[in-house]
Amino acid sequence: QVRLMESGGGSVQAGGSLRLSCTASEWGYTTDCMGWFRQAAGKEREGVAAMLSGGAGTYYADSVKGRFTISQDNAKNTVYLQMNSLKPEDTALYYCMAGPPTICGLWRDSEYKHWGQGTQVTVSS
């Protein structure tokens, strides 16, 4: 069973930055796409950013384009989400996810096979 271990959440003022990390216990077909969803209180979970292994493709929700950057370190089985110019509406529980390459960027959360435990990001105005 693949495990995803997240770190890096926290509290920041609007305009600030945070970086999330997610390390997979193993790397393979079902982790060829890794990225992040988020869920704000009282709202549905939504896709934020995703990346294909080897950098073959990156995908972003419209709400974070130009502010968030996803990257990876293959040697460490780790993906990062650099979040800049944070807004109060970015406040949410952020979940790392992994799945096969065929669904990368489609934001159908039911099809991702592996999930982290979630890390809280709080942005104050």
Q: Can you give the pLDDT at residue 76?
A: 82
Q: Can you give the pLDDT at residue 37?
A: 97
Q: Can you give the pLDDT at residue 55?
A: 80
CA atoms within 13 A on the CB side of 83: 32
Q: Can you give the pLDDT at residue 25?
A: 95
Contacts 24+ apart (CB under 8 A), 15-18: 15/85, 15/86, 16/86, 16/123, 17/82, 17/83, 17/84, 17/85, 17/86, 18/83, 18/86, 18/121
10-residue mean pLDDT profile of the chain (125 residues): values are 94 98 93 95 96 92 98 90 98 96 91 94 97
